[in-house]
Amino acid sequence: MSTPPLPVEVHKVAIESVSDASGLTRLIDAGAVEADRVIAVIGKTEGNGGVNDYTRIIADRAFREVIEARGTRSMDEIRQIPIVWSGGTDGVISPHATVFATTTPDRVPATDEPRLSVGYAMSEQIRPEDIGRPPMVEKVAAGVEVAMERAGISDPADVHYVQTKTPLLTLETITDAKKRGQDVWTEDTLKSMDVSNSTTALGIAVALGEIDMPRADQIHKDLSLFSSVASCSSGVELDRAQIVVLGNVRGIGGRFQIGHSVMRDALDSDGVWESIRSAGLTDLPERPHPSDLHDRVVNVFCKCEADPTGRVRDRRNIMLDDSDVHWHRQIKSCVGGVVASVTGDPAVFVSVAAVHQGPSGGGPVIAIVDHGRQ
């Protein structure tokens, strides 16, 4: 019999410089979380969000060093903690991190209401030739199933957010594949970021029963296939999928609940509000305002994508034709402003490259609510 999941604490901390982890230090020193109980971190760093965005590596090291200095786990153990960084804080998006840590049942309110549970896993190694192909889908799906079990979630309907970080292609890994007699889906390293994300999303969708196993020719092409809860990022700092599954479990207690919806397009603020209601804030007025939230929203996480039609609400835009500023940065800035206008807080997690993550031109949106705040 598997061990029942523990209740979870969730806290958002600001990042005031590239290597700043003082917010995590203060959380631990204040007793809000214990270093040895930190199980995941999901954050935004201020780099370019591209293949050579090393702010992710700097932030990763800073946060792991705090966990080591304030706890008893070895660095080898700490390296197993999924710390997922999404680079690029375009527009008003503010660098920040959301910290997840277990706690003991005696320290949280007892309730039979659905409350947040978190499970994590590392997939099998993902080779360069796997990216964009069915073997990567299968490896991610297997990892999601492990993470669900660790979270105590048996019904996929109780999963509201799956955040992943997977490898992308670099010149070094492309060369490695060729030396072994393998080819790769693309030799465009920036495009490989999009492809890694989309392949991962299909693995999540397969694990949750949202779709059947896709054919190779559907990956990154058949936009009718998607997951409504996947948020996938990729980078140079790992060679397997880091997987964090977040959902609700009854009976574990705690203050936090998670919910999700989808943004149908880049301007769909109603989708953001629907995710907040899905997380249990049912007392909102029909046309709510950020002041109605009373600081109960811990964070909102979403994926976004420039609509491949080049139009939003039947109005033309030039994001996909702009040779000066890549569309990744433009859509991230746009959606970041829309989401922040709902929450009233620019520290929101908005990540780009959302193929197979929510409907085409939109993306999943997830909210975590603190029901202990009144």
Question: Which residues are known to be catalytic?
Answer: 165, 233
User: CA 6 to CA 60: how far, in whole Å?
Assistant: 25
User: CA 260 to CA 255: how far, in whole Å?
Assistant: 17
User: CA 4 to CA 115: how far, in whole Å?
Assistant: 13
User: CA 207 to CA 164: how far, in whole Å?
Assistant: 14
* Cα-trace Rg, the chain: 19
Q: Mapped to the 3 state alphabet, what secondary structure does 283-334 carry?
A: CCCCCCCHHHHCCCEEEEEEEECCCCCCEECCEECCHHHCCCCCHHHHHHHH
User: CA 201 to CA 137: how far, in whole Å?
Assistant: 8
Nearest to 250 by CA among 162, 332, 153, 319: 153
Name the 3-class secondary structure at 233. Answer: strand
| Cβ-contact 119, 245 below 8 angstroms | yes
Angle between helices 327-343 and 269-278 (to 10 degrees): 50
DSSP 8-state assignment for residue 48? -
Q: DSSP H helical segments within the chain, as ranges?
A: 22-29, 55-70, 75-78, 134-151, 171-179, 189-207, 269-278, 327-343
